[in-house]
Amino acid sequence: MQSEKLLSIVNLDKSYGNHHPVIKKLSMDLYAGELVAIIGRSGAGKSTLLHMINGTISTTGGDIIAFPDSDTPQKAHLLKGKALRHWRSQCGMIFQDFCLVPRLDVITNVLLGRLSDTGTLRSLFKFFPKKDVERAIELLEWTGLINQALQRAENLSGGQSQRVAIARALMQTPRILLADEPVASLDPKNTHRVMEALQEISAQNIAVMVNLHSIEQVKQYCSRVVGIASGEIIYNGSPDGLTEDIQQRIYANPAS
Amino acid sequence: MINHSNTISTSERSNNERQYAAIYASRRRHMVITFSLGLIILFYYIFFFYFNGLTPEQMFQGLDKLGQYFARMFIWRNVSQWPFGYYFTQIAVTLGIVFAGTFTATLLALPLSFLASRRVMNTFILASISVVIRRLFDIMRGIDMAIWGMIFIRAVGMGPLAGVMAIFIQDTGLLGKLYAESHDAVDKRPSRGLSALGANHLQKHRFGIFTQSFPQFLALTLYQIESNTRSAAVLGFVGAGGIGLVYAENMRLWNWDVVMFITLVLVLLVMIMDKASELLRKKYIIGEDIPLFNQPIQHIEK
């Protein structure tokens, strides 16, 4: 028996205005405990895909079904208001440029991950329950940033910032973690630390979906890889099956 | 999540424990400060009302009287005999005072604001100059426009000149301080880039600082013109020219209908100015997109 299916994408379409479609009839599933890489050239629709799952970009067709194996599957792309915020809290997101709040200290940045589960009035005064603070400390220790806990986020390096962003996403206790080019602006050492962290997270039965640019990283860290070209899936399977020929097709120039 | 405690050394562990203590202390401090501030604000109100012997009855009676005046404002009598020419001339004089005062203040405050900016004045001697300039701003700003007006009336006599000078002095202090703060708040990276390519100090301040603080500069100036139009009425009360004199006369004569009329005209003027400044802001602050990326993508990739 395979592990739980957390997300099912069926015939997803996206186009902006009357321009070319960005995503065409894309279908794929996401299972608990996987580390799935999404690869493709710039503009292939990788980021758009992640943002549509999280609901920050609207879809133009098809379905994104959250927790299809559970008793209450939901159409994630139709959610609004409170239900949408709840879905987003279950589906963490990290970005290439971190998106931390620069003037807040690191531990508060991590605690912000609990916003959707904290009462509004409390949260506006930055009062978080003790168990959340304990959890944040635990996560900071795990990411090796405990000594920076009371520093402002703006004083961190790129690699440190990304680790804080990961801690913040884990603070949400997500079932799914979406990472939009998390290592694109990092050096090799920090890349290794971040990718290793993502691997450990997927081992906690969380589905991790990550946009990557390097085939090497895909082969080294990921359990599955999805290659997208011009909004369509070219390859979906084990990284070992990613032959030269398939890579050629994924990264081919669409105009030629 | 993942437990490293069996792999880390004793010194590392004690360091971590110190860190936990610091984090919890910081969160406790945050709580204590927030609640204390809340309490202080509450006690302040209680103290203020008690110390000044203010009672709720006083407030209710006052509201009642205010209601009577307010009712009179809506009954307009003998409108055909009102000296409209006089009213509108005085409004024009007020606008003239505001523009002359604020514009002159802007011209002087801008160069002075660079001399007051901590970012620009970064050596010991320069920093001491900036302290002097900032204290000068404090003095100019610390005295209210109406008081400046009364002082200048003694010096140059009743009339608009005293009003212009009052606005000029007060606004140089206010705008100079606010401009300097906006210079200090801009991103440091452009300046670093400019010094790396060999720009001199003035060039660096011009493009690394002023280009970035310009939206703030424009917004502050436009707001100050609008705000002065409102407060210039007070200048007339003390005799420094403009519509305030009409206000004072008619309040004394219980002509609340005229007071209402002039107020409406002023509100309308402020609204027009707000619209005008919004247009300026749109043009200079937000900027327009250059349609670089509207070309078909294939074209670029080939």
Q: Evaluate whether residue B276 is within a structural domain.
A: yes
What is the CATH classification number for the domain harbouring B256? 1.10.3720.10
Q: How confident is the model at residue B133 (pLDDT cuts 50, 70, 90)?
A: very high
Arithmetic mean of pLDDT, B198-202: 82
Give B283's pLDDT tier (boundaries 50, 70, 90): confident
> Domain residues for B33?
10-54
Mean pLDDT of B220-247: 87
Q: Tell me which chain A residue has its CA closest to the CA of residue B13.
A: A141
Q: Are residues B126 and B192 in the same domain?
A: yes
B174 versus B288: the higher-pLDDT residue is B174
For the cut 60, the answer to whether the pLDDT of residue B202 exceeds it is yes
B1, A137: Cβ pair inside 8 Å? no
Four-residue CA torsion sign, A110, A114, A120, A123 = negative
Tell me how far apart the alpha carbons of residues A169 and A161 are, in angstroms, rounded to a whole number: 12
How many Å apart are CA A68 and CA A70, to the nearest integer? 6
Please name the residues in contact with B216: beta carbons below 8 A apart, sequence gap of 6 or more. B178, B179, B182, B185
* H or E stretch covering A63: strand A61-66
**What is the total residue count of chain A?**
256
* Residue B261 belongs to some domain of the structure: yes
Residue of A nearest to B29 (CA): A127
User: Tell me, what's the pLDDT at B299?
Assistant: 42
Question: Of A21-30, B101-110, B139-148, B204-213, which has the strongest mean pLDDT?
Answer: B101-110
pLDDT of residue B300: 40
Q: Do A150 and B15 touch (CB under 8 A)?
A: no
User: Out of A138, A147, A253, whose CB is closest to B1?
Assistant: A138
Q: What is the pLDDT of residues A99-139, one digit of tens each?
A: 888 888 999 999 999 988 888 888 888 899 999 999 999 99
Q: How far is A69 from chain B (nearest CA, A)?
A: 26
Question: Is B159 within the bounds of a domain?
Answer: yes
Chain mean pLDDT for chain B: 85
| Residues from B in contact with A at Cβ < 8 Å | 1-2, 4, 15-16, 19-20, 22-24, 26-27, 30-31, 34, 297-298, 301-302
Q: What is the pLDDT of residue B5?
A: 45
Q: Which of B23, B34, B301 sits opposite A149 (nearest CB)?
A: B23
- What distance in Å separates the CA atoms of residue A191 and residue A212, rounded to the nearest whole number? 11
pLDDT digits (tens, 9 = 90+) for A14-46: 988 777 788 999 999 999 999 999 999 888 889
Question: Which residues of chain A does B302 touch, with a Cβ-Cβ cutoff of 8 Å?
Answer: 255
The answer to which of B93-102, B106-115, B132-141, B272-281 has the lowest mean pLDDT is B272-281
- For B61-72, write each residue's pLDDT tens digit: 888 888 888 888
**Are residues B47 and B84 both part of a single domain?**
no
| Nearest-CA distance A158 → chain B (Å) | 16
User: Among all residues of chain A, which has the CA nearest to that of B22?
Assistant: A150
CA-CA-CA-CA torsion for B231, B232, B233, B234, nearest 10 degrees?
A: 70
Segment (H or E) for B51: helix B10-51
| Bridge partners (DSSP) listed for residue A31 | A5
Contacts of A146 in chain B (CB under 8 A): 16, 19
pLDDT of residue B33 exceeding 80:
yes
Q: B162: Cβ–Cβ under 8 A, 6 or more apart, which residues? A: B149, B152, B153, B155, B156, B235, B239, B240, B241
Give B294's pLDDT tier (boundaries 50, 70, 90). Answer: very low
What distance in Å separates the CA atoms of residue B234 and residue B187, rounded to the nearest whole number? 39
Those residues of chain A whose CB sits closer than 8 Å to some CB in chain B are: 20, 43, 105, 107, 125-128, 133, 137-139, 141-142, 146-147, 149-150, 170, 200, 204, 253-255
Does residue B81 register a pLDDT over 90? no
Same domain, B128 and B213: yes
Alpha helix (H) residue ranges in chain A: 46-54, 81-90, 106-111, 120-124, 130-142, 158-171, 188-203, 215-221, 244-250
- Same domain? B85 vs B232: yes
Q: Does the pLDDT value for residue B302 go beyond 70?
A: no
Q: What is the pLDDT of residue B286?
A: 67
Q: Is residue B151 part of a domain?
A: yes
Report percent pLDDT > 90 for chain B.
Answer: 37
Regarding whether B48 and B79 lie in a shared domain, the answer is no
pLDDT band at B296 (very low <50, low <70, confident <90, very high): very low
Query: Which ipTM was obtained for this model?
Result: 0.75
Classified as helix, coil or strand, B187 is: coil
CB-CB under 8 Å, A147 with B19: yes
Q: Which amino acid is present at A221?
A: Y
CB spacing of B34 vs A150 below 8 angstroms: no
From chain A, pick out residues whose CB is under 8 angstroms from the CB of B20.
137
Whether B254 and B111 share a structural domain? yes
Domain count, chain B: 2
* CATH number for region A5-99+175-250: 3.40.50.300
3-class DSSP state of A56 = coil
- At residue B118, φ and ψ (nearest 5 deg) are -70, -30
Instruction: Compute CA A160 distance to the chain's CA centroid, rounded to the nearest angstrom.
Output: 18
Low-confidence stretches of chain A (pLDDT < 70) are: 1-2, 253-256
Report residue A202 as tokens. Answer: 């997927």
Q: A9 is written with which tokens? A: 């994408």
Whole-angstrom Cα distance, residue B282 to residue B299? 32
User: Does residue B129 sit in the same domain as residue B33?
Assistant: no
Residues B43 and B129 in one domain: no
What are the residue ranges spanned by the domains of chain A? Answer: 5-99+175-250
Q: Phi/psi zone of residue A82: left (φ > 0), alpha (ψ -120 to 50 degrees), beta? A: alpha
Contact across the interface for A133 and B30, Cβ inside 8 Å: no
Cross-chain residue pair B23–A200, CB shorter than 8 Å: no
Chain A neighbors of B189, CB-CB under 8 A: none
Alpha-carbon distance of A252 to A233, in angstroms, equals 13
Asked if pLDDT for residue B39 goes beyond 60, the answer is: yes
